[in-house]
């Protein structure tokens, strides 16, 4: 059972850390990928960009050993994603509130997450970690959870908001990550 009840330390090689991380001078992904792709040959560049480069050690799954990761690309309808992929961090899943927040009603217009999904699907696949033995969270054990969002909590929340409105039925692409550390 994968334990999320306490925050774990990052195990990622410090050499992978984006140059300028945490500053306004963070080097672009292309530079980072050129420097690191030889060490991440087992990952799709979109996975590396969205999860490792973008979130670095702030990711609650940075305890997963990257070299042991495998992945596949799947396409699931909204109902299947919302039924089978658990959002452990990045809640709340409040459809009306999330719809208003992501569309910035009365302000400057939809956020990028909403703009993409308003066209039918997201522009970057969701990252879902396979959890074959369930998870343990601060709320207790959840042995039935088989997938947990690794990156994409905003996409998940907005998909839920659209589903409650009968929109964005999918299918939507998602990267399914597998790791022996997630058992």
What string of H, E and C letters represents the secondary structure of 10-31?
CCCCHHHCCCCCCCCCCCCHHH
Contact 12, 62 (CB under 8 A): yes
Does position 124 have pLDDT exceeding 80, yes or no?
yes
pLDDT of residue 107 exceeding 80, the answer is: no
Banded pLDDT at 154 (limits 50, 70, 90): very high
Per-residue pLDDT, 38:
97
Contacts within 8 Å (CB) and 24+ apart, 52-59: 52/12, 52/16, 53/18, 53/29, 54/29, 54/151, 55/151, 56/12, 56/17, 56/18, 56/21, 57/10, 57/12, 57/17, 59/10, 59/150, 59/151
Note the pLDDT of residue 168. Answer: 85
> Of 62-66, 87-91, 92-96, which one has max mean pLDDT?
62-66
Classify residue 144 as left (phi > 0), alpha (psi -120 to 50) or beta. Answer: alpha
Beta bridge partner(s), residue 130: 147
Share of the chain above pLDDT 70, in %: 98
Residue numbers of the domain that contains 100: 2-182
pTM of this structure:
0.93
- Please give the tally of structural domains in the chain: 1
Q: What is the pLDDT of residues 45-77, one digit of tens each?
A: 999 999 999 998 789 999 999 999 999 999 999
Question: What pLDDT score was predicted for residue 132?
Answer: 96
Q: Is 71 helix (H, G, I), strand (E, B) or coil?
A: strand
Please tell me which residue, 92 or 166, carries the higher pLDDT value.
166
Asked which of 18-22, 67-71, 106-110, 157-161 is least confident by mean pLDDT, the reply is: 106-110
Strands 2-3 vs 140-142: parallel, antiparallel or unpaired: unpaired
């Amino acid at each position: 059972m994968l334990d999320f009840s306490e925050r774990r330390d990052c195990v990622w090689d410090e050499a992978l850390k984006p140059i300028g991380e945490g500053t306004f001078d963070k080097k672009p992904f292309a530079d980072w990928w050129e420097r690191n792709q030889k060490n991440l040959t087992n990952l799709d560049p979109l996975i590396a960009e969205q999860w490792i480069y973008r979130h670095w050690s702030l990711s609650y799954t940075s305890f997963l050993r990257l070299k042991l990761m495998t992945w596949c690309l799947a396409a699931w309808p909204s109902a299947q994603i919302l039924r089978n992929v658990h959002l452990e961090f990045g809640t709340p899943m409040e459809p009306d509130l999330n719809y208003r927040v992501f569309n910035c009603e009365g302000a400057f217009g939809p956020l990028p997450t909403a703009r993409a999904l308003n066209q039918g699907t997201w522009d970057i696949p969701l990252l879902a970690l396979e959890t074959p033995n369930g998870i343990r969270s601060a709320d207790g054990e959840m042995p039935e959870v088989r997938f947990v969002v690794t990156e994409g909590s905003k996409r998940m929340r907005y998909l839920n908001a659209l589903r409650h409105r009968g929109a964005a039925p999918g299918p939507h692409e998602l990267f399914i990550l597998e790791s022996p550390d997630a058992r």
